[in-house]
Amino acid sequence: MSKGFDKLYRTYGPMVIRRCRSILKDEEAALDISQDVFLKVFKRGNLEKLQYPSSFLYTIATNLSLNYLRDNRKGPVALTDKAMQIIQSEDAPEDRVLNRYFTEQIFSKTKASTRTIAYLRYIDGLTLEETAETVGMSVSGIRKRLRGLRELGLQLQGE
C-alpha cells in the first residue's frame, strides 16, 4: 500500500464513514460502502494529484451511498427516512403514498448526480457554493440543475 494512500485513509476515513452512516443509517452498510470509496480511489491512482481530497471523497461517499440505497431499496423510493420526513408534510397515509410516488417519478427522470445535488442542498442543508464545491460544478450549474428539477416537478404535478 502506498504511503500517500495510507495517509489519505487515516486523514479522511472517519469523514467518509460518518457520511455513509448519515445517509445509510446502517453501520454495517456504511463500513462496506466506505471501504468501496477508498477502493475506488486506490484503483484510480495518482493520489498526489488530488487537489481537494475531502470534497472528492465526500462526493464519492455520497454517490456510492445513494446508489446502494437505490439498488437495495425495499420500497418504492430510494430516499432515506429523513428525506421522506422533510418531503412529507401531510399525516394522512394516502398523502404519504402520493408524495413517495411523486418523488420517485421526479428522481427517475433525472441524472443520479442531480439526485446527489438535491440531497446535499435540501437534506444536508449545504449552501449553493458548498454544494458546487462538493460535486465539482459551478454554482450556476447547480442552480440550473435545481431549476430543472423544480420544472420537472411542476410538469409532473400538472399531469
Supply the CATH number for residue 123's domain. 1.10.10
Element (H, E) at 15: helix 3-24
Same domain for 18 and 91, yes or no, is no
Q: Which residue has the cell 408524495?
A: 99
Q: What is the dihedral of CA 115, 22, 83, 103, to 10 degrees?
A: 30
pLDDT band for position 94 (50/70/90)? Answer: low
Number of structural domains, the chain? 2
Q: What are the tens digits of pLDDT across the range 118-158?
A: 888 888 888 899 888 888 899 999 999 999 888 887 777 66
Residues 152 and 91 in one domain: yes
Digit-coded pLDDT (tens) for 42-76: 777 666 666 778 888 888 898 888 888 877 765 44
Could you say which of 18, 50, 72 is where a domain stops?
Answer: 72
Could you tell me the pLDDT band of residue 91, with boundaries at 50, 70 and 90? Answer: low
Domain that holds residue 59: 1-72
3-state helix, strand, coil in the chain (%, to 5): 80, 0, 20
The verdict on 99 and 67 lying in the same domain is no
Q: What is the mean pLDDT of the chain?
A: 78
Residue type, 74: K
75: left (phi over 0), alpha (psi -120 to 50) or beta: beta
Domain termination residue (choose one: 72, 88, 114) = 72
Q: Please tell me whether residues 57 and 125 are part of one structural domain.
A: no
Domain edge (last residue) among 27, 45, 72: 72
Q: In this structure, are residues 117 and 131 in contact, taking their beta carbons and an 8 Å threshold?
A: yes
Residue 25 has φ and ψ, to the nearest 5°, of: 55, 30
